[in-house]
Structure 1
Amino acid sequence: MSKIIEIPDCTYTNKPYLITPCAPTPKHKLYLSNLDDQRFLRFSIKYLYLFKKSVEAEWLKFSLSKVLVEYYPLAGRVRVSSEDAEKLEVDCNSEGALFVEAYVNLSVEEFLEGSQRPNASWRKLLFKVDSHNFVGAPLIIQVTHLRCGGMILCTGISHCLCDGIGTVQFLQAWEFLTRKPNAALHVSPFHERYMLKPRTPPQITSSHPEFTCLLPQEPAPILLNQFLQCQNHVPISATFSPTDILQLKKLCIPS
């Protein structure tokens, strides 16, 4: 079993700064549907990418400012809704995504040596937002330069704005414009969440068993949210091979 390597503390070479869209973007309040702002989804999806060769930070900032034109809600701020204190909304004000540069006394090989097991010290590689000025920033990025010339790119993206697929779509768009800054994106994001807004008064036209679950010999339904909130969550590191994924698919009902 591989040993856990404690990541050294990062040295921040510059103060955190904001990357804004390089062109004018719509200014409005973005409605978040009930699927987007559920309480147990109010966290950020974090990604870590390791590169043997670094990319100029100025180039990454430039391409980020370009991709934020299409993905402009990520340059806004998540706030409590002006219409409902129980809901969140996005103020699309182009304040900018938070971008941080750092250095850590570590090599790519040393990081890989300790990357086979969960490691809480990886959290050092994503800037911890504690300033009131950045609270609600849906996109936080840290570029950490390594001793060997490589770099680690960490991102924290609000789950209220992006699910896993949406997050990957944004990161791929950023990568594409980093390589081809003058090209057009192949896929444009769709931001109109109001299409999932409940009708007033509510009009339920079909049953929704996905939100309830009946246990044997117990007629009362159990709400899915209550069920999830009472479960203990334990962080693990798991690798799914193509064979594992195929095996899981065989267990699913054909559709």
Structure 2
Amino acid sequence: MASSSLSFTVRRQEPILVAPASATPHEFKRLSDVDDQDGLRFHIPVIQFYGNHPSMAGRDPGKVIREALSRALVFYYPFAGRLRETEGRKLVVECTGEGVLFVEADADVSLEQFGDALQPPFPCLEELIWNVPGSDGVLDCPLLLIQITRLLCGGFVFALRLNHTMSDAPGLVQFMNAVAELARGAAVPSLAPVWAREILEARQPPKVTCLLREYEDVAGTIVPFDDMVHHSFFFGEAEVAALRKRVPPHLRNSSTFEILTACLWKCRTVAIGAAADEEVRMICIVNARGKAGLDLPAGYYGNAFAFSVAVSTVGKLSANPIGYALDLIKKAKSRVTDEYMRSLADLMVLRGRPHFTVVRSYLVSDVTRAGFEDVDFGWGKAAYGGPAKGGVGAIPGVASFYIPFRNGIVVPVCLPGPAMDKLVQAMNRMIGEDYNDAKDQQPHGNTFIASAL
């Protein structure tokens, strides 16, 4: 994994605002009622590592990307504006054309020094994506911050911080690809951006027809943040095969994501030691793009997902085999239909845009197919592309990304030390002897179950 002991110096230039390259409309654009819920009112960091590329010799990534960004903002001009809050906590973008924050920097480190297995947490992350003072508010602040840090080897780090109310992962990758295409010489992005946030605005009158248990008011506290430990769990072919053997025949067609999520939910519940009669929740981010009846157009770059939740008592989840958790997760995902998304928008308006419940909840987001690592500014694909941190959301310790790594998936987890020890033990028991048998049959036998970071 990336060396957490690695230390280096970053010399930053003064931050600037990059505005659209030509005039853009000054107007107010409403976010959708899915966009502006409480659980998305934070900034989310993404980081990309790029190596040196012979064809780009003599070209400065800072200049190339800055100029491409300015051109891209002509098409994505809402990103150059600022959020305002109106009646009922409704968020709108005032398209002012002020621009996005842009920082150029140089680091006395090469890409090779980060190690050959780049994954969160990254050393000196706060230096690679500097929190410009006064820039991280939700309202009246830049919606994007981008830092380009040149490395000694000729490569660079592209770090981005996004106000999550503006876009989800597919929407952000769409924007990043637009910048990348223009950096490589395109005249216009190959996919034109579409606003169309009215599709996910509440109906008149609002009418919630689906049960959305992810927004229930739940008494209690979240896991305390004392003595927090980070671990990364790797699931390659052998680990997934071992888990799949535990799945009952009628659920064998489950996706890898569903199986890993069931395993994590069951093992984490055992680790945190909640009472048997308490309810625990596993929240899965479910993409609504392509849902029949919703008709989100190609080029839509807003938030288009639901926090679908599976709920169980601790006792049932702990006592039953993995198929019990897996069945609940599959049912939770299947509930996300066009009507579910419309009910979600309606609920936001009726209840003041609440945060999803975090009490005895865990949230997972699969970015293995988001395409971050494929974004090419001219220096080829990223050595690593994706979340800058292992957790999701503004509240640490209650969520994880599923991140692609080699031929498998890495799941970073954060828990108090004693609970993490129990989680590692539970994960290893879940993999069991079948893992050792499968690993012996792998062509590349260098897999691991859990690795301290």
- TM-score of the superposed pair, with normalisation by structure 2: 0.46
Instruction: Tell me if 1:47 matches 2:8.
Output: no
Counterpart for residue 278 of structure 2: none
Distance 1:225 1:45, change over 3 A: closer
Retained in 2: the 8 A contact 1:3–1:114?
no
5+ residue gaps, structure 1: 217-222, 246-255
Query: Which residues in structure 2 correspond to 1:146-157 (within 5 Å)?
Result: 146-157=151-162
Distance 1:144 1:239, change over 3 A: same
Deviation at 1:20, TM superposition (A): 0.7
Deviation at 1:189, TM superposition (A): 1.2
Counterpart for residue 435 of structure 2: none
**C-alpha deviations, 1:192-247, integer Å up to 9, x for none?**
3133222343244x43557577767xxxxxx99553355352667854666779xx
Aligned counterparts of 1:146 and 1:2: Cα–Cα separation in 2? 16
SS in 1 for 2:87: coil
Counterpart for residue 28 of structure 2: 29
Counterpart for residue 194 of structure 2: 190
Match of 2:78 among 73, 81, 90: 73
Retained in 2: the 8 A contact 1:77–1:137?
yes
**C-alpha deviations, 1:153-206, integer Å up to 9, x for none?**
111122111100000001111100111242x322111113133222343244x4
Match of 2:205 among 195, 201, 218: 201
Distance 1:210 1:95, change over 3 A: same
Deviation at 1:36, TM superposition (A): 0.5
Aligned counterparts of 1:2 and 1:103: Cα–Cα separation in 2? 20
Deviation at 1:58, TM superposition (A): 2.0
Retained in 1: the 8 A contact 2:111–2:151?
yes
Aligned counterparts of 2:151 and 2:68: Cα–Cα separation in 1? 22
Deviates more, 1:207-216 or 1:134-143: 207-216
Taking only the aligned residue pairs, the percentage that are identical comes to 30
Retained in 1: the 8 A contact 2:403–2:409?
no
- Aligned-CA RMSD value: 3.2
Retained in 2: the 8 A contact 1:4–1:114?
no
Aligned counterparts of 1:229 and 1:144: Cα–Cα separation in 2? 38
Retained in 2: the 8 A contact 1:7–1:122?
no
Distance 1:136 1:209, change over 3 A: same
Deviation at 1:120, TM superposition (A): 5.6
State the one-letter code of the partner of 1:27. Answer: H
Retained in 2: the 8 A contact 1:59–1:178?
yes
Match of 1:177 among 178, 182, 185: 182
Match of 2:93 among 90, 94, 97: 90
Counterpart for residue 4 of structure 1: 4
Counterpart for residue 136 of structure 1: 141
- TM-score of the superposed pair, with normalisation by structure 1: 0.78
Aligned pairs, number = 234
SS in 2 for 1:174: helix
SS in 2 for 1:172: helix
